[in-house]
């Protein structure tokens, strides 16, 4: 088959991708943020193409107590070869721009795709080994506990919250991959099919971005309220928030959730959940809840608000308990 010439869009996609791939060498590619009460400003680990940076010494000191191996750039062969690999991909993309042939585009894209998959597998292996291969003589040992940080998103590790996300260089690499994929779609499909492909791509991305705001089940008589620190034992009045980073904060009372939000304005909240009063320990989105307050409603910390997933049930309870209907927007000040 004849090796056809690329469209203008595909050539520009190759050129921009080439500069993004080379540019990613000079910026941190990934970051893992750690938050804990004793570190209110947080700690951060930055993974560059050629080194580990950030609060490495502090994190190594903390890892020593739980038996994790300390982190040193020289222990990883990846940091020796990754700058050359990214540079080679960048040069290949720019050369493909100059050649302007479909075969060159396909070669760059699928080679980069394979590289991305292998890199993700290697990153997971690295996280797994450091989180599971612990020193049995460590000062702090929790039977069955592993400290593998998440590849992406949020995870609670003892009293530390770990949040893993691409950094500047990582977003540059993702941008290069997206541009190359769009160029492939442009060359492979007709305009109509390309539009359909792009629609599926964007919808899938949107659904993925919205998939991490589901509530985390509250463990009654185990979990503590993140505001008043009391144990959560009532499955009718509790509440929960999910932050933009995916962390869950749990409360024994809707009032505690409201007070927490008022006192922590810097916390970016993605979703609010409340217990359905008529179901034990069932969380429902605040947007679908019908709230009543006062009267005979008595909650653990005197927030005295009950939530219902069914409006008729809320109305019946309101009449029977001398309570009154209240809107969420009248309760929350954030």
Please check whether residues 176 and 30 belong to one and the same domain: yes
Does residue 128 fall inside a structural domain? yes
Please check whether residues 204 and 278 belong to one and the same domain: no
Instruction: Using alpha carbons, select from 46, 14, 50, 11 the residue that is nearest to residue 31.
Output: 46
Asked if 256 contacts 296 with a C-beta cutoff of 8 angstroms, the reply is no
Does residue 132 fall inside a structural domain? yes
CA distance 315 to 292: 9
* pLDDT one-digit tens code per residue, 239-287: 999 988 778 899 999 999 999 999 888 888 999 999 999 999 999 999 9
Asked if 54 contacts 31 with a C-beta cutoff of 8 angstroms, the reply is yes
Domain of 26 in residue numbering reads as 8-209
Total domains in the chain come to 2
- Cα angle: 202, vertex 151, 239; to 5 degrees: 80
pLDDT at 107 over 90: yes
Does residue 31 fall inside a structural domain? yes
Contacts (Cβ under 8 Å, ≥6 apart) of 202: none
Asked if 35 contacts 164 with a C-beta cutoff of 8 angstroms, the reply is no
Does residue 226 fall inside a structural domain? no
The pTM for the full model equals: 0.67
Mean pLDDT of all residues in 97-101: 92
Mean pLDDT of all residues in 192-218: 59
How do 248-251 and 239-243 pair as beta strands?
antiparallel
Please give the C-alpha separations between residue 160 and each of 33, 43, 60, 214, 220, in angstroms, as whole numbers.
10, 10, 14, 21, 22
Does residue 224 fall inside a structural domain? no
Please check whether residues 155 and 40 belong to one and the same domain: yes
Q: How confident is the model at residue 212 (pLDDT cuts 50, 70, 90)?
A: low
Asked if 82 contacts 50 with a C-beta cutoff of 8 angstroms, the reply is yes
CB atoms within 10 A of CB 252: 29
DSSP 152: S
The residue out of 209, 229, 249 marking a domain boundary is: 209
Does residue 143 fall inside a structural domain? yes
Please check whether residues 48 and 158 belong to one and the same domain: yes
Please check whether residues 180 and 257 belong to one and the same domain: no
Q: How confident is the model at residue 290 (pLDDT cuts 50, 70, 90)?
A: very high
Please check whether residues 144 and 194 belong to one and the same domain: yes
Please check whether residues 199 and 87 belong to one and the same domain: yes
Please check whether residues 129 and 270 belong to one and the same domain: no
Contacts (Cβ under 8 Å, ≥6 apart) of 217: 281, 283
């Amino acid at each position: 088959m004849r090796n056809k010439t690329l469209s203008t869009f595909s050539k520009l996609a190759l050129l921009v991708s080439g500069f993004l791939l080379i540019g990613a060498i000079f910026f941190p590619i990934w970051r893992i943020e750690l938050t804990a009460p004793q570190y209110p400003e947080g700690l951060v680990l930055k993974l560059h193409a050629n080194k580990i940076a950030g609060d490495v010494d502090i994190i190594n000191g903390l890892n020593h107590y739980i038996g994790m191996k300390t982190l040193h750039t020289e222990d990883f062969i990846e940091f020796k070869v990754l700058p050359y690999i990214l540079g080679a991909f960048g040069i290949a993309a720019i050369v493909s721009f100059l050649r302007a042939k479909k075969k060159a585009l396909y070669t760059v894209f699928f080679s980069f795709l394979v590289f991305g998959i292998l890199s993700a597998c290697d990153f997971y292996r690295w996280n797994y080994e450091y989180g599971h291969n612990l020193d049995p003589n460590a000062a702090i040992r929790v039977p069955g506990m592993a400290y593998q940080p998440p590849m992406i998103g949020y995870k609670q590790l003892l009293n530390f919250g770990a949040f893993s996300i691409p950094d500047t260089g990582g977003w540059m690499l993702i941008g290069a991959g997206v541009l190359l994929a769009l160029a492939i779609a442009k060359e492979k499909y007709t305009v109509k099919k390309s539009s359909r492909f792009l629609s599926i791509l964007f919808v899938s991305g949107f659904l993925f971005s919205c998939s991490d705001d589901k509530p985390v089940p509250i463990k009654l008589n185990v979990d503590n309220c993140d505001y008043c620190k009391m144990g959560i034992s009532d499955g009718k009045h509790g509440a929960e928030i999910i932050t933009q980073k995916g962390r869950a904060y749990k409360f024994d009372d809707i009032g505690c959730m409201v007070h927490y939000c008022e006192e922590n304005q810097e916390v970016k909240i993605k979703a609010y959940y409340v217990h359905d009063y008529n179901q034990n320990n069932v969380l429902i989105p605040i947007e679908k809840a019908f709230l009543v307050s006062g009267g005979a409603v008595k909650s653990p910390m005197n927030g005295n608000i009950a939530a219902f997933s069914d409006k008729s049930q809320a109305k019946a309870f309101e009449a029977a308990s001398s309570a009154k209907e209240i809107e969420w927007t009248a309760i929350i000040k954030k």
